[in-house]
A = this chain, B = another copy of it.
């Protein structure tokens, strides 16, 4: 197992200690339970924005804690949901008078645990809303997930909602905004190689030297199709055509209804990208693919968007939501309006995303 680790049982703690040492101006890392909080929290003038999930997807989520993005992150063990007590302690640490928005990737464990934490926080008198990201257009229902998985749109949702919280949005408006970002975000990924979890010390799945998998999840969950290696353009076509044409499936998981103990059913809307749409594009390395190769994917993606009349107005090309050292790429497109674009452009300073300050 070719990893820079000391003790596989402590890998998350080791990495969090380094995050703390490298970024003492931006965040504090807490242990037992493990969570990361932004400096300057709690702040009664803003909703606290929290996310989290299994480790192994860095810089998501700890790398997005700081100014103008997340106020707290709850890292679970590698590919394992964080526990409700992590989320509860994180929530208590950062909640001011305006409550908490929890941004939750749609994995069953994450959804359940964030909802349990929300109940615990509500019992303490803290208002909490959970918005679920379920943007992966590859498959409906998968390992660890009922419905669509939550992937790349999470990065954009954290940036946009972090900016909106800093601007003073109240919890209702912030939750509505997060749902809007999610409903307008579509992602799909592919793998050239498997990742290796430190605990298992072996590939999560077997894949031949001449094979790739389209539609893979960020934990190596099965995709749509295993096939022979294709060119970067063909791979981009497979991903982006599905993203650009998606719309038939209507997601219903955008928010958890604590009264019903079930997802809120949202209005059925056609979210297919249309001519004239403006989008933010994220071309993301699954971890082991170097940034140079992502630019080849970006070129084809932009050509395809252009052909459909969809305008990429901002882009991120790099390592944003990874799957350990897996080689491969994911593409995310999020349709934006003027409000969302302005929030996206707002200053941010976190370990892994920074501009305007």
Q: Say whether, besides A18-B297, A357-B355, A292 and B58 are in contact (CB < 8 Å).
A: yes
Residue in B296, B329, B351, B354 whose beta carbon sits within 8 Å of that of A354 in the complex: B354
A135: interface (CB < 8 Å) = no
Is A293 within 8 A of B235, CB to CB?
Answer: no
User: Among A101-109, A256-264, A283-291, which stretch is in contact with chain B?
Assistant: A283-291
Is B15 within 8 A of A292, CB to CB?
Answer: yes
A1-24: CB near B (< 8 Å → 1, else 0) gives 011111100010011111101100
A297-338: CB near B (< 8 Å → 1, else 0) gives 111001000000000000101110010110101000000000
**Closest partner residue, chain B, to A18 (CB atom):** B295
A231: interface (CB < 8 Å) = yes
Is B357 within 8 A of A5, CB to CB?
Answer: no
Is B192 within 8 A of A2, CB to CB?
Answer: yes
Q: Say whether, besides A2-B192, A325-B327, A299 and B21 are in contact (CB < 8 Å).
A: yes
Q: Say whether, besides A231-B5, A290-B324, A319-B290, A14 and B355 are in contact (CB < 8 Å).
A: no
Closest CB in chain B relative to A68 CB, distance in Å: 13
Q: Say whether, besides A2-B327, A4-B235, A291 and B63 are in contact (CB < 8 Å).
A: yes
Assembled-state Cα–Cα distance A183/B321 (Å): 37
Cβ–Cβ < 8 Å partners of A16 in chain B: 295
Cβ–Cβ < 8 Å partners of A17 in chain B: 295-296, 299
Closest CB in chain B relative to A311 CB, distance in Å: 12
Q: Say whether, besides A231-B6, A232-B6, A290 and B288 are in contact (CB < 8 Å).
A: yes
Closest CB in chain B relative to A2 CB, distance in Å: 4
Closest CB in chain B relative to A15 CB, distance in Å: 5
A-B contact pairs, 5 of them (CB 8 A): A2-B229, A14-B296, A18-B317, A22-B298, A354-B354
Other than the given A2-B229, A17-B299, A290-B324, 14 more pairs (CB < 8 A) read A3-B289, A6-B232, A15-B293, A17-B295, A18-B294, A21-B298, A21-B299, A22-B295, A55-B292, A56-B292, A59-B291, A292-B324, A317-B351, A354-B354
Where the two chains meet, the residues of A that have a C-beta atom closer than 8 Å to any C-beta of B are 2-7, 11, 14-19, 21-22, 55-56, 58-59, 63, 192-193, 209, 212, 229, 231-233, 235, 287-299, 302, 315, 317-319, 322, 324-325, 327, 329, 349, 351-352, 354-357
